[in-house]
C-alpha cells in the first residue's frame, strides 16, 4: 500500500495587544489576542496588571486585563510575554508603560470651563494658562503632593489681580470650581471683572479653608434674595478665612452664618464695612431677651 507522510504543520503564533501607547495613570484596560496552533499562555512581571477574563474561539485566545491606578508621579513599566504552555519558550514580548500621576481629568475639565467662563485669553501675562500644556504648568495652581487613585488634585487656586472677567455663579449649573473636590483655597481677589454671586455649589467643597473675593463685583443672588448662602455655615466646616469686602453685597447676612464654628476668625466686621456705592452687609438682630 502506498503511504503518504504529511509534514507536520509549522508552529505559528500571532499575538497582538490592543492598548494605547501609554496606559492611563488613573487606571486602564487592554486585551491580548493570540492566534496559534499550539497551546499558549502569558507571563507578566508586575502585579498591577490583572487578568480579568479569558475566551477561546478555535485557535484564537483573548485575555482581558485591568490596569490599577499608578501610585506616584513616575512612569512605571511592565513586560508581557506570550509563551508556549508548559515550556519557557517565548514567542512574543510586549513592553508596556503606564504614565505617572497627572492632574485628575475631572479637575482639568473643571479648570478649562473656569478658564472659558473667566475669559482666560485676556488674563495678565503672568497668569495666562497655555491649554496646550499640562495643567500642572498653569500659573496660580497648587496641586496636592499626595496621589489619589492615580491622579493629582488641585489644592489651591490663587489668581489675585489677574484681570479675570466673568461670573462665578450664574444659577444655571454648578460653578466649575465646585468640582475640585480637594480644593482648600480660592483667591480671586482684586479682579473687578469677577461678577455674579457666591455659588451655592461651593458648599460641596468639604476641604475649603479660604475664600478671598475682596474687591470684586459680586452681588446678591436676585432670584433667591441671599447675599451669602446659608449652607456655607453648615457645610464648610473647615472655612477659617472668608473675605468678601468691597463688593456689591448688601442686606442682612443669614443668622446661620454667625453660628459657623470659625465665624470669629473671619473678622466679619471688616466684611461689613461699607462696600461699593450704598451697599453694605449687616448682622442679624440679636434675639430679644425673654
Question: What is the per-residue pLDDT across 150-197, written as a single tens digit (0 to 9) for each?
Answer: 999 999 999 999 999 999 975 556 789 999 999 999 999 999 999 998
Long-range pairs, 19-24, Cβ under 8 A, ≥24: 19/96, 21/97, 22/75, 22/97, 22/98, 22/99, 23/67, 23/96, 23/97, 23/98, 23/99, 24/67, 24/98, 24/99, 24/150
Domain ranges of the chain: 14-98, 102-282
Q: Identify the residue whose cell numbers are 495652581.
A: 141
As given in the structure block, the three cell numbers for residue 106 are 475631572
Global pTM value: 0.84
User: What's the topology of domain 14-98?
Assistant: Immunoglobulin-like (2.60.40)
Fold annotation for 102-282: 3.80.10
Over residues 95-121, the pLDDT tens digits come to 999 999 999 999 999 999 999 999 999
Task: Give the CA count within 13 Å in the CB-facing half-sphere of 190.
Answer: 6
Amino acid at each position: 500500500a502506498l503511504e503518504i507522510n504529511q509534514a507536520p504543520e509549522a508552529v505559528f503564533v500571532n499575538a497582538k495587544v490592543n492598548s494605547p501607547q501609554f496606559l492611563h495613570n488613573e487606571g486602564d484596560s487592554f486585551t491580548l489576542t493570540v492566534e496559534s496552533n499550539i497551546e499558549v499562555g502569558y507571563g507578566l512581571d508586575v502585579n498591577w496588571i490583572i487578568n480579568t477574563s479569558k475566551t477561546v474561539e478555535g485557535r484564537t485566545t483573548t485575555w482581558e486585563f485591568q490596569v490599577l491606578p499608578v501610585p506616584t508621579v513616575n512612569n512605571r513599566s511592565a513586560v508581557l510575554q506570550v509563551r508556549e504552555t508548559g515550556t519557557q519558550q517565548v514567542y512574543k514580548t510586549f513592553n508596556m508603560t503606564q504614565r505617572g500621576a497627572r492632574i485628575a481629568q475631572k479637575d482639568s475639565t473643571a479648570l478649562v470651563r473656569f478658564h472659558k467662563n473667566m475669559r482666560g485669553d485676556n488674563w495678565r501675562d503672568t497668569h495666562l494658562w497655555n491649554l496646550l500644556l499640562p495643567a500642572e504648568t498653569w500659573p496660580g495652581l497648587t496641586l496636592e503632593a499626595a496621589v489619589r487613585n492615580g491622579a493629582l488634585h488641585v489644592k489651591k487656586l490663587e489668581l489675585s489681580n489677574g484681570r479675570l472677567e466673568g461670573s462665578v455663579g450664574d444659577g444655571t449649573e454648578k460653578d466649575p470650581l465646585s468640582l475640585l473636590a480637594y480644593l482648600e483655597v480660592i483667591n480671586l481677589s482684586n479682579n473687578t471683572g469677577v461678577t455674579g454671586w457666591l455659588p451655592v455649589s461651593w458648599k460641596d467643597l468639604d476641604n475649603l479653608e479660604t475664600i478671598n473675593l475682596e474687591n470684586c463685583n459680586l452681588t446678591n443672588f436676585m432670584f433667591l434674595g441671599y447675599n451669602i448662602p446659608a449652607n456655607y455655615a453648615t457645610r464648610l466646616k473647615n472655612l477659617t478665612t472668608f473675605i468678601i469686602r468691597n463688593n456689591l453685597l448688601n442686606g442682612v447676612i443669614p443668622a446661620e452664618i454667625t453660628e459657623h464654628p470659625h465665624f470669629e476668625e473671619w473678622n466679619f466686621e471688616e466684611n461689613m464695612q461699607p462696600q461699593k456705592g450704598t451697599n453694605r452687609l449687616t448682622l442679624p438682630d440679636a434675639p430679644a431677651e425673654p
